[in-house]
C-alpha cells in the first residue's frame, strides 16, 4: 500500500484506499485527523454556543472556554436566519403545525405550507411549478438521478449530462447513474464542442451549471450558455444556490442578472443560504415537476420538511419588502473585496458574497486558517478536491450584518498572516 504523505494530503486521499477495508481506512484517517489536530489545523466542526451571525461564540480547538470570533463562514448572507419576522414565522409554524410533518409527501406528509412554498418559489422566478426537497443537495442529486439514465444493456445510448467542471458535489452525485462529459469552467468553446459531438447520440442531453460558483464566487454567463445549449437541442439546468437573494436588481440571482428567466429550462436551489433556513427546490415545467413528484426517490420516499419552513415564506417576502439587506450586503462585499485587493491579495473573479483569498498549497492554507482563528477570525480553508491542489484558499462569506469594524479586523488579520506566510501577490511575483 502506498504511504499517504500527511503533509500534502487532503480528506479526498482517504476516500477509497486500495486494499484496505473501511475499518482499516477509518483507522488511517483517524491518524490523519490526529496529525492535523496536533498542528492546530483541524479547524472543522468548531462548536458554536451562539446563533449564526457575524460574530459567534466558539469552542476553539484545544480550548475549554468559548471565544467570540468574527465569522465569515455562514451562507446566511442577508442574516435572515435571525430576522425577527422570520423567527416569528417559524414559531407560528410550530404553534400551528407542531414540530414534524409525519410522512413522505405522497402519503400524508404534504401540508398547506409545503404547497404555499412550492407556489411561492416558482412564482419568485416567474414560473408555474416547483417541487421541494429537504436539502439543496437532494434537490440536485435526486432530480438529476431521476431525469437522466445511462446506456442500457444493449448499449443503446440513453442520456447525457454535460457539466461545468466546477459544479457542486451534489450535481456530480446526481449524475453517477448517467453518462457524463465535463467542460472546463465557463469555457464556452469547449461546451459547444462537447455538445456538437454529442448531438443525435442521446435521448436527453442536459447542460448543468451553477449560477454562482461556490468556491470562486464567480458566475456563469447564462445567456450565452443557454443559447449554445438550445442551439444543439439540449436543456439547461442552473443551480443558483449562492445567487438567490444576493444578485440581480430584485434578488432573483444570476438568472435575473442575464434576464434569462425564459431561457433556463430547470432551476435548482436551496433555502439554506440567503433564505436562512433549510431545504431545496427544483423549478421546471408543470409536467416535469409532476413527474419528479412521483418518480424522484429522495422526494417520494422521504418525510417532508418541518413546519419551520414557514420561515422561508417570510424570508422570500423580505427579499422584496426589505431590499436594504441586499444593499448592506453589497456595501460589505465591496468594502472587504477592495480592502483585500488593495492589500495585494488574489481574490480571483468573484462577483458575489463568496470571496476566495488564494493561498496556494494545502499546508500553507491550513496554517493561514489557524493564524486567522488565533486572531479571532473564523474562516474556511478550502482544499482539494473542492479546488485543485495548487489552488487552495481561504474562503470568506460576507453577511449583510457584518459591521465595518468586523471587516477592518478581518483585513488587519490578513495583513498579519501575510507577514508570516507571504501569500499576497507581491510575494508571488518575487518568485
Ligand atoms: C452550489 C451549491 N448547490 C447546492 C448546495 C447544497 O445545498 P444545501 O446545503 O442546502 O444542501 C450547495 C451548498 O451547500 C452549493 O454550494
State residue 291's pLDDT score. Answer: 98
* Spatial CA neighbour of 68 closest among 49, 81, 85, 93: 49
Establish whether residue 134 lines the binding site of ligand 1, counting it when its CB lies within 6 angstroms of any ligand atom.
Answer: no
Which of these ranges, 82-96, 148-162, 256-270, has the smallest mean pLDDT? 148-162
What pLDDT digit, counting tens, does each position of 160-215 carry? Answer: 999 999 999 999 999 999 999 999 999 999 999 999 999 999 999 999 999 999 99
Establish whether residue 281 lines the binding site of ligand 1, counting it when its CB lies within 6 angstroms of any ligand atom.
Answer: no
Q: Is residue 342 part of a domain?
A: yes
233 DSSP assignment: T
Q: Is residue 107 part of a domain?
A: yes
106 DSSP assignment: G
- Is the same domain home to 331 and 366? yes
What pLDDT digit, counting tens, does each position of 33-90 carry? Answer: 999 999 989 888 999 999 999 999 999 988 999 999 999 999 999 999 999 999 999 9
pTM of the predicted model as reported, rounded to 2 decimal places: 0.96
* Spatial CA neighbour of 114 closest among 57, 103, 167, 22: 103
Length in residues, the chain: 431
Q: How far apart are CA 368 and CA 141, in angstroms?
A: 33
The boundaries of the domain holding residue 118 are: 84-321
- Is the same domain home to 317 and 328? no
State residue 431's pLDDT score. Answer: 45
For a mutational test of ligand 1's pocket, the pick from 170, 210, 215, i.e. the residue with the most ligand atoms closer than 8 A to its C-beta, is 170
Burial class (CB in 10 A: 0-12, 13-18, 19+), 189: exposed
Number of structural domains (the chain) is 3
Distance 253 CA to ligand 1 centre (A): 15
Distance 136 CA to ligand 1 centre (A): 5
Q: Is residue 279 part of a domain?
A: yes
Establish whether residue 170 lines the binding site of ligand 1, counting it when its CB lies within 6 angstroms of any ligand atom.
Answer: yes
What pLDDT digit, counting tens, does each position of 376-425 carry? Answer: 999 999 998 889 888 999 999 999 999 999 999 999 999 999 999 999 98
- Is the same domain home to 183 and 308? yes
199 DSSP assignment: T
Report whether the peptide linkage leading into residue 156 is cis, meaning its omega lies within 30 degrees of zero.
no
* Spatial CA neighbour of 255 closest among 76, 124, 75: 124
CB atoms < 10 A from the CB of 47, how many?
10
Distance 170 CA to ligand 1 centre (A): 7
Q: What CATH number is attached to the domain comprising 111?
A: 3.40.640.10
Distance 238 CA to ligand 1 centre (A): 12
Q: Which residues are catalytic?
A: 214, 242, 273
Distance 241 CA to ligand 1 centre (A): 6
Burial class (CB in 10 A: 0-12, 13-18, 19+), 155: exposed
- Is the same domain home to 171 and 61? no
Q: How far apart are CA 49 and CA 68, in angstroms?
A: 10
- Is the same domain home to 372 and 271? no
For a mutational test of ligand 1's pocket, the pick from 73, 138, 214, i.e. the residue with the most ligand atoms closer than 8 A to its C-beta, is 214
CB 279 within 8 A of CB 309: yes
* Spatial CA neighbour of 242 closest among 52, 73, 77: 77
Paired strand residues for 55 = 70
What pLDDT digit, counting tens, does each position of 308-364 carry? Answer: 999 999 999 999 999 999 999 999 999 999 999 999 999 999 999 999 999 998 999
CA angle 25, 27, 33 (to 5 degrees): 105
H-run or E-run covering 144: helix 136-147
State residue 62's pLDDT score. Answer: 87
Q: Which of 265, 286, 321 is the last residue of a domain?
A: 321
State residue 1's pLDDT score. Answer: 62
Establish whether residue 135 lines the binding site of ligand 1, counting it when its CB lies within 6 angstroms of any ligand atom.
Answer: yes
Establish whether residue 214 lines the binding site of ligand 1, counting it when its CB lies within 6 angstroms of any ligand atom.
Answer: yes
Q: What percent of the chain has pLDDT over 70?
A: 98
Establish whether residue 74 lines the binding site of ligand 1, counting it when its CB lies within 6 angstroms of any ligand atom.
Answer: no
Contacts of 88 (CB under 8 A, 6+ apart): 314
Rg, the chain, Cα only: 22
Please measure the distance between the N-terminal and C-terminal CA atoms of the chain and give it in whole angstroms: 36
Mean pLDDT calculated for residue range 262-290: 98
State residue 247's pLDDT score. Answer: 98
Q: Is residue 79 part of a domain?
A: no
Q: Is residue 137 part of a domain?
A: yes
Establish whether residue 143 lines the binding site of ligand 1, counting it when its CB lies within 6 angstroms of any ligand atom.
Answer: no
Q: What CATH number is attached to the domain comprising 332?
A: 3.90.1150.10
Amino acid at each position: 500500500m502506498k504511504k499517504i504523505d500527511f503533509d500534502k494530503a487532503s480528506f479526498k486521499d482517504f476516500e477509497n484506499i486500495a486494499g484496505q477495508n473501511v475499518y482499516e481506512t477509518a483507522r488511517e484517517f483517524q491518524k490523519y485527523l490526529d496529525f492535523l489536530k496536533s498542528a492546530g489545523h483541524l479547524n472543522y466542526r468548531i462548536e458554536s454556543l451562539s446563533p449564526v451571525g457575524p460574530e459567534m461564540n466558539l469552542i476553539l480547538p484545544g480550548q475549554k472556554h468559548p471565544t467570540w470570533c468574527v465569522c465569515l463562514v455562514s451562507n446566511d448572507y442577508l442574516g435572515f436566519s435571525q430576522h425577527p419576522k422570520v423567527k416569528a414565522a417559524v414559531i407560528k409554524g410550530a404553534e400551528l403545525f407542531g414540530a414534524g410533518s409525519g410522512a413522505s409527501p405522497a402519503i400524508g406528509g404534504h401540508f398547506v405550507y409545503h404547497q404555499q412554498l412550492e407556489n411561492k418559489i416558482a412564482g419568485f422566478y416567474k414560473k408555474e411549478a416547483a417541487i421541494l426537497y429537504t436539502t439543496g443537495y437532494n434537490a440536485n442529486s435526486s432530480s438529476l438521478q431521476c431525469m437522466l439514465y445511462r446506456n442500457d444493456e444493449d448499449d443503446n445510448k440513453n442520456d447525457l449530462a454535460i457539466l461545468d467542471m466546477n459544479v457542486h458535489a451534489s450535481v456530480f452525485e446526481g449524475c453517477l447513474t448517467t453518462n457524463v462529459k465535463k467542460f472546463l469552467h465557463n469555457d464556452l468553446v469547449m461546451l459547444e464542442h462537447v455538445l456538437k459531438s454529442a448531438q443525435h447520440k442521446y435521448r436527453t442531453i442536459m447542460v448543468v451549471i451553477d449560477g454562482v460558483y461556490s468556491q470562486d464566487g464567480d458566475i456563469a454567463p447564462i445567456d450565452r450558455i443557454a443559447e449554445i445549449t438550445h442551439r444543439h437541442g439540449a436543456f439547461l439546468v442552473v443551480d443558483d444556490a449562492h445567487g438567490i437573494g444576493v444578485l440581480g436588481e430584485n434578488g432573483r440571482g444570476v438568472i435575473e442578472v442575464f434576464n434569462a428567466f425564459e431561457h433556463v429550462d430547470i432551476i435548482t436551489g436551496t433555502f439554506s443560504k440567503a433564505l436562512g433556513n433549510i431545504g431545496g427546490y427544483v423549478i421546471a415545467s408543470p409536467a416535469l415537476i409532476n413527474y419528479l413528484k412521483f418518480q424522484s426517490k429522495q422526494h417520494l420516499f422521504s418525510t417532508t420538511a418541518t413546519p419551520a419552513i414557514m420561515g422561508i415564506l417570510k424570508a422570500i417576502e423580505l427579499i422584496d419588502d426589505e431590499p436594504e439587506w441586499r444593499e448592506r450586503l453589497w456595501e460589505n462585499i465591496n468594502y472587504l473585496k477592495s480592502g483585500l485587493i488593495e492589500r495585494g491579495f488574489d481574490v480571483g473573479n468573484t462577483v458575489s458574497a463568496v470571496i476566495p483569498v488564494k493561498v496556494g498549497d494545502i499546508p500553507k492554507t491550513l496554517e493561514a486558517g489557524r493564524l486567522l482563528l488565533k486572531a479571532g477570525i473564523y474562516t474556511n480553508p478550502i482544499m482539494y478536491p473542492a479546488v485543485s491542489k495548487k489552488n487552495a484558499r481561504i474562503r470568506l462569506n460576507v453577511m449583510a450584518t457584518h459591521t465595518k469594524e468586523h471587516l477592518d479586523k478581518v483585513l488587519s488579520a490578513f495583513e498579519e498572516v501575510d507577514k508570516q506566510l507571504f501569500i499576497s501577490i507581491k510575494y508571488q511575483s518575487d518568485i
